[in-house]
Amino acid sequence: MRPALLLPIALLCPPDAWGDDEPLKLADTLVSANRQAEERDSSTSASTVFTRADIDRLQPDSVVDLLNRVPGVQVAQSGGRGSLPGIFVRGMQSSQTLVLVDGVRVATATSADSNLQNLGVDQIERVEVLRGARSAIHGADAMAGVIQIFTRRADQAGLQGRLHVTAGSDGHWQRDLGLSGANDDSRFALSAGLDESAGINRTHASFASDQDHDAYRNRSLSLTASHYFTDDLEAGITLLDNQGKNEYDNPFGRFDSLSLSTVGQKPYSDFQLSSFGTYVDARLTEHWKSRLELGHSENQETSRDTLSDEHSAFNTYRDSLGWQNTLHLDERNSLLAGVDIFQDRVTSSTAFAEDSRWNRAAFVQHSYRTDSFGTQVGWRRDVNQQFGGQNTWSAAVTWFVNRSNDLVLSYSEGFRAPTFNDLYYPGYSNPNLTPEHSKSYELQWRSRLSDTTRLETSLYRTELSDAIVLDSNFLPQNIGHARINGAEAVLRQQLRDWNSALSLAVIDPRDRDSGHTMTRRARRTLNWDLDRRFGALAVGVTWQAVSRSYNDASNQQRIGGYALMGLRSSWAVTPQVKVDLKVDNLLDRQYSRVLYEFDGQAYGYREQGRAWTIGLTWNPAL
């Protein structure tokens, strides 16, 4: 989208009053669970929410950095900033977690990777993470949970500017500009950024061509705009575009047909991750609210090698339509019903036997609530062009023990259709695959121990059947069965000027066919954020501990556990100017999340050592 085309949107918003994005500013609301704003306490989903205020306080380098703080979520990257992350929600793999940007699905149709490492964190207003299957509401891929990212919204009434500049170790530079505004009827937020880093050397022993630093560059643009035509009719658009270049190492090398040997490479990829959405919200009657959404996402990547002519391209496109209706039948009963339609298309340098597929679905969910208990029952029917009909159910009962304690007992089902790579990648696919299925059981206890202390705990069990795993010839087969038992606890406390968030997760992810622990899943993780404000000065510390895991299905390659500490501070020089300072991995711990083999030996990808950043933010009123 050309910048000149955005000017009329800015002119819609004179600096008079405030728009209606308030739910996205609040930590005690949730949007993703039932696709509408609701109180977190009213939702039956275990959830974690990061608002823009949390992001500014924690100073994360990326969305991946935020996800590492979520109980039950583990991230395995292959070598620091810009590398592809494996995101394991409650012990399940990346492809089994649905990722949305402003309600639009963004994962690739070929590999199911969401490429969250390429989302510019300064373009983000809010991140919601749901733990546990939500397929009855969101359909395929929401077996393990849902991660939804909301782009920037206007901060306040009037016209506001934003300038953010960050410098750091390893040649890290980040520059972001923003403009936002709101009045009684309209609001908009426009942001653009450039994030660059000279990077680190991601591999230990490998080819000489890999012994260099792997740079990263990301240009980002986001836009949200909406307008109230009447008190009961609103329409809006959202846009997010990230594109750039990522250098990486390939310690496996490539086979050279001339020398008949394996030689090194200097690979890099050009990427683009973008989404566009538009919606219309209408209150048709006093008890009936309807929302129509159209979405489009693109995930494009072209990989090249500086030392050869080798290259490959994998581009996927998704168009979607959703219609959702909320009916408040009476003071105790409500109904959520709607339809979803989306179509995937693939263009690639690799020839796929099929390059498009559609999915159509209808869903309904009934909620009932009294002063002492509440119930929720949901059902969804997906019809896939290739796999036919799939039913998923969910049910939950909430017991309001007293004003301070709630118990939630829930059951949920999930499924995932095989990707285009699973089905059609030449030489490494299986067109006879069927969808994966899961059943999850969960008990939650939520307690407000005091006005300043809150405890949330979960016990759960997930059973996975028809799991898609690779056999000895690297061909995908429906032969896997897994059982995952887990427990999570989050304790949030405010004591005077101190704010503490402590989370602990314990999981036992087992392959039921072999009895082995599933790969790259640590059994225990702990995260602690402690912050204090001294007037205009704020300081904070983060501590993360991760137990050992295994890199392979046979549990022969052990990945060592590790503990990391980080410090941060910010100084509000004036109400409009703030300075941030952060040091990550303060003790310069050397650790790995993924291993690779070279000359018959296993080595770990390097992760970021001690790193510092200093940033300046200026928010002028225009």
- The dihedrals phi and psi of 138, each to the nearest 5 degrees, come to -105, -10
| Tens-place pLDDT, residues 292-303 | 999 999 999 999
Residue 19 has pLDDT above 80, yes or no: no
Residue 34 has pLDDT above 60, yes or no: yes
Prediction pTM value: 0.94
Long-range contacts of 515-519 (CB under 8 A, 24+ apart): 516/550, 516/553, 516/554, 516/555, 517/549, 517/550, 517/555, 518/91, 518/482, 518/484, 518/553, 519/549, 519/550, 519/551, 519/552, 519/553
Question: 320: helix, coil or strand?
Answer: strand
Distance in Å from the first CA to the final CA of the chain = 24
- Residue 503 belongs to what H/E stretch? strand 498-511
Kindly list the structural domains of the chain, giving each domain's residue range(s) and its CATH number in brackets, ordered by start.
3-618 (2.40.170.20)
| Tens-place pLDDT, residues 334-347 | 999 999 999 999 99
Residue 140 has pLDDT above 60, yes or no: yes
Long-range contacts of 72-77 (CB under 8 A, 24+ apart): 72/46, 72/131, 72/458, 72/486, 72/488, 72/505, 72/507, 73/129, 73/131, 74/520, 74/521, 74/522, 74/525, 74/546, 75/593, 76/520, 76/593, 76/594, 77/117, 77/593, 77/594, 77/605, 77/607
Residue 13 has pLDDT above 50, yes or no: no
Q: What percent of the chain has pLDDT over 90?
A: 77
Rounded to 10 degrees, what is the CA torsion of 20, 26, 31, 34?
-110
**Highest mean predicted confidence (pLDDT) among 20-29, 132-141, 318-327:** 318-327
Lowest mean pLDDT across 4-18, 28-42, 417-431: 4-18
What average pLDDT score do residues 106-113 get?
90
Residue 8 confidence (pLDDT)? 36
Residue 418 has pLDDT above 90, yes or no: yes
Question: 353: helix, coil or strand?
Answer: coil
- On whether the CB atoms of residues 153 and 21 are closer than 8 A, the answer is yes
Residue 471 confidence (pLDDT)? 78
| Tens-place pLDDT, residues 512-534 | 888 999 999 999 999 999 999 99
| Tens-place pLDDT, residues 352-382 | 999 999 999 999 999 999 999 999 999 999 9
Tell me which residue has tokens 């993924």. 594
What average pLDDT score do residues 308-322 get?
94
Residue 6 confidence (pLDDT)? 37
Other Cβ atoms within 10 Å of 388 Cβ, number: 9
Read off the pLDDT band of 16 (50, 70, 90): very low
Tell me which residue has tokens 């622990």. 517
Residue 2 confidence (pLDDT)? 40
Q: Whose CA is closest to 617, among 567, 562, 576, 566?
A: 576
Residue 15 confidence (pLDDT)? 33
Residue 3 has pLDDT above 70, yes or no: no
Read off the pLDDT band of 11 (50, 70, 90): very low
Read off the pLDDT band of 205 (50, 70, 90): confident
Residue 20 confidence (pLDDT)? 55
Instruction: Please give the mean pLDDT across all residues of the chain.
Output: 91
Q: What is the token pair recorded at 583?
A: 């040091």
Q: What percent of the chain has pLDDT over 70?
A: 97
Cα–Cα distance list, 146 to 97, 287, 463 (Å): 6, 28, 18
- The dihedrals phi and psi of 41, each to the nearest 5 degrees, come to -65, -25
Tell me which residue has tokens 């061909």. 475
Residues 21, 162: Cα–Cα separation, whole Å: 18
- On whether the CB atoms of residues 234 and 271 are closer than 8 A, the answer is no
For residue 551, which amino acid is it?
Answer: N
What average pLDDT score do residues 185-191 get?
95
